[in-house]
């Protein structure tokens, strides 16, 4: 009997990486030492924080099938058509900018904090139409949009080619660092096949917990994957968000169904396009499902509430393979006596525990604990301490 169960478990398989193969662009040991020595003698490019995060995700296979920074064909195809030149779905350009046309066919890449990390084989140097990229990818050419401002600041001369990484940048949260190969191993070890990924850059309130647990009801496991890469200055700091997760998991999540790990990407705030990109990345980490909330990866009022849901209709289901799970705004309804959404609760807003983001920040800033239906007290304590420390 036991052996039958084991066999059934072993037969469960995880979703394939995007493009079929998990990319590994790292070298170690003697190879790494030799490449580091060569890099020291090459012309070098200093990466931004975003580019450093991109490099690290290329290295680990989180951006499979990318093996380097995009050449012109992949860049233009991504911008215009949301596919790589080879036809695979892809939503966000991953590019390296340079001030001057590099001399030579190999470039050393230096992390934003200093220190050489990788060598890029120069395939192509090309001019990008950043305004067109802004309009197509961000749906605006306004510099007030942080993602648009970023690509304008990077400039229009791009260098494309495969990278080989001999030194991974220091992870922001070493305890939560897991490469795709590691999350996949963790899922497989626990016998998970259907895994839902949840991405956030905000502190977790009851609404998020409810969505995560609704999704978990239908699959084997939950990957809580808070984004710890570069965000806007006014987002809640990653260390505070991670601490919120720690206290929440300790108290309210089944340890054998939940995996917490850091997602090292830098935010673009590209809304719908970034939702697709986030889903593809999570597929590489081994997720079969991905939660897409309202205004996923949005900023200001650049995107419609459900744009990040609708964009998935632009792909054939088999193209992405990972299944998006769409959620609406959720809340506690006093009359239903439970968490709910407009889809599941017939009562109007006066029945709901509703607090605006501004109101919550004011309460926490005064040291007041929001209603338990809105935020777990353990999470409120972490946030109050953080607001008071500012």
The residue among 319, 344, 317 whose CA lies nearest residue 333 is: 344
Residues 255, 390 contacting (CB under 8 angstroms): no
Q: Count residues near Zn ion (CB under 5 A).
A: 5
Shortest distance (Å) from residue 357 CB to Zn ion: 22
Q: What angle do CA 189, 191, 194 make, to 5 degrees?
A: 120
Helix, strand, coil % (nearest 5) of the chain?
A: 40, 15, 45
Q: Helices 357-365 & 377-389, crossing angle to 10 degrees?
A: 70
Q: What is the set of active-site residues? A: 201-202
β-bridge pairing 221-224 and 157-165: unpaired
Residue nearer to Zn ion on the CB measure, 292 or 345: 345
Shortest distance (Å) from residue 385 CB to Zn ion: 33
329-348 binders of Zn ion (CB under 5 A)? 333, 335-336, 345, 347
Residue nearer to Zn ion on the CB measure, 276 or 333: 333
Shortest distance (Å) from residue 371 CB to Zn ion: 16
| Nearest-angstrom CA–CA distance, 210 and 206 | 6
β-bridge pairing 157-165 and 124-127: antiparallel
Could you identify the residue written with the tokens 């980490």?
285
Q: CA 68, 70, 74, 77 torsion: positive or negative?
A: positive
Shortest distance (Å) from residue 347 CB to Zn ion: 4
Residue nearer to Zn ion on the CB measure, 137 or 333: 333
239-298 binders of Zn ion (CB under 5 A)? none
User: 244: which residues sit within 8 A by CB, 6+ positions away?
Assistant: 203, 204, 379, 382, 383
| Nearest-angstrom CA–CA distance, 155 and 127 | 9
Residues 111, 169 contacting (CB under 8 angstroms): yes
Q: CA 27, 29, 35, 39 torsion: positive or negative?
A: positive
Shortest distance (Å) from residue 345 CB to Zn ion: 3
SS3 262: coil
Shortest distance (Å) from residue 355 CB to Zn ion: 17
As given in the structure block, the two tokens for residue 114 are: 């200093």
Residue nearer to Zn ion on the CB measure, 21 or 344: 344
Would you count residue 27 as binding Zn ion (CB under 5 A)? no
Residue nearer to Zn ion on the CB measure, 183 or 330: 330
Residue nearer to Zn ion on the CB measure, 117 or 345: 345
Residues 242, 226 contacting (CB under 8 angstroms): yes
Q: Which residues bind Zn ion (CB under 5 A)?
A: 333, 335-336, 345, 347
């Amino acid at each position: 009997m036991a052996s039958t169960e084991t066999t059934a478990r072993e037969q469960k398989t995880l979703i394939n990486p995007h493009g079929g193969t998990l990319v590994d662009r790292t070298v170690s040991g003697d190879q790494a030492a030799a490449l580091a020595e060569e890099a020291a003698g090459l012309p070098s490019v200093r990466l931004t924080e975003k580019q450093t995060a991109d490099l690290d995700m290329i290295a680990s296979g989180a951006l499979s099938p990318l093996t380097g920074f995009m050449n012109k064909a992949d860049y233009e195809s991504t911008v215009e058509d949301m596919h790589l030149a080879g036809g695979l779905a892809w939503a966000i350009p991953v590019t390296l900018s340079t001030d001057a046309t590099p001399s030579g066919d190999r470039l050393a890449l230096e992390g934003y904090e200093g220190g050489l990390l990788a060598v890029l084989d120069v395939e192509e140097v090309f001019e990008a139409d950043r305004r067109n990229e802004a309009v197509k990818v961000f749906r605006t050419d306004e510099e007030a949009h942080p993602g648009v401002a970023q690509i304008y600041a990077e400039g229009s001369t791009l260098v494309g080619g495969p990278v080989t990484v001999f030194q991974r940048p220091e992870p922001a949260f070493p305890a939560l660092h897991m490469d795709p190969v590691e999350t996949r191993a963790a899922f497989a070890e626990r016998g998970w096949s259907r895994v839902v990924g949840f991405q956030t850059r905000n502190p977790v309130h009851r609404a998020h917990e409810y969505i995560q647990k609704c999704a978990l009801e239908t699959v084997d496991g939950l990957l809580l994957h808070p984004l710890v890469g570069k965000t806007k200055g006014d987002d809640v700091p990653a260390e505070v968000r991670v601490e919120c997760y720690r206290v929440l998991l300790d108290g309210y999540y089944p340890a054998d169904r939940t995996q917490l790990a850091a997602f090292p990407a830098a935010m673009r705030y590209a809304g719908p396009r970034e939702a697709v990109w986030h889903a593809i990345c999570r597929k590489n980490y081994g997720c079969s499902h991905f939660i897409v909330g309202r205004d996923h990866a949005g900023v200001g009022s650049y995107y419609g509430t459900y744009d990040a849901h609708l964009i998935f209709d632009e792909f054939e289901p088999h193209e992405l393979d990972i299944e998006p799970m769409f959620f609406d705004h959720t809340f506690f309804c006093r009359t239903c006596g439970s968490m709910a959404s407009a889809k599941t609760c017939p009562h109007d807003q006066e029945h709901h525990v509703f607090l605006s983001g501004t109101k919550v920040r004011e309460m926490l800033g005064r040291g007041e604990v929001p209603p338990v239906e809105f935020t777990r007290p353990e999470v409120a304590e972490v946030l109050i301490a953080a607001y008071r420390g500012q």
